[in-house]
């Protein structure tokens, strides 16, 4: 089975390293490179981890921040759902409804006097 990959998005950290502390600082820099984004789009790009990203925007970010893709995007192995479930059970997290099983009733015989 192939390993599932995930990634960390380091745009905010790289911006801070370059002295860009406001998300709106990127708007004119992107505009100089022919990329027009609203302030809310730039905010989401910086604060959230993008699921889809235009290559033009990516190239503009690399140019603006003078960095490489390795600096901006860090690939990591994704935690599988199975290992996460095992970890929760091992740690003693609450059992889900599917983990509950009924117990058999015990029938005690009548005592004769």
Measure the CA–CA gap between 57 and 88, rounded to whole angstroms. Answer: 39
In a domain, 95, yes or no: no
In a domain, 80, yes or no: no
Shortest CA distance to 3 belongs to which of 70, 76, 73, 52? 76
Structural domains of the chain, count: 1
Q: Which residues constitute the domain of residue 38?
A: 22-75
pTM over 0.85: no
In a domain, 83, yes or no: no
Answer yes or no: is pLDDT of 95 > 60. Answer: no
Q: What are phi and psi of 104, to 5 degrees?
A: -70, 145
Q: What are phi and psi of 80, to 5 degrees?
A: -75, 155
In a domain, 10, yes or no: no
pLDDT tens per residue across span 55-92: 999 999 999 999 999 999 999 988 765 555 554 554 54
Q: How many CB atoms lie within 10 A of CB 44?
A: 14
Beta bridge partners of 7: 75
In a domain, 33, yes or no: yes
pLDDT tens per residue across span 28-54: 999 999 999 999 999 999 999 999 999
Which pLDDT score is estimated for 110? 67
3-state SS class at 52: coil
């Amino acid at each position: 089975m192939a390993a599932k990959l995930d990634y960390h998005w380091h745009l905010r950290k790289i911006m801070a390293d370059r002295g860009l502390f406001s998300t709106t600082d990127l708007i004119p820099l992107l505009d100089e490179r022919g990329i027009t984004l609203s302030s809310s789009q730039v905010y989401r790009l910086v604060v959230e981890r993008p699921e889809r990203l235009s290559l033009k925007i990516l190239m503009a970010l690399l140019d603006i921040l003078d960095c490489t893709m390795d600096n901006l995007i860090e690939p990591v192995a994704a935690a599988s759902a199975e290992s996460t479930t095992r970890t929760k059970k091992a740690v003693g997290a609450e059992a889900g409804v599917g983990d509950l099983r009924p117990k058999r009733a015990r029938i005690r015989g009548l005592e004769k006097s």
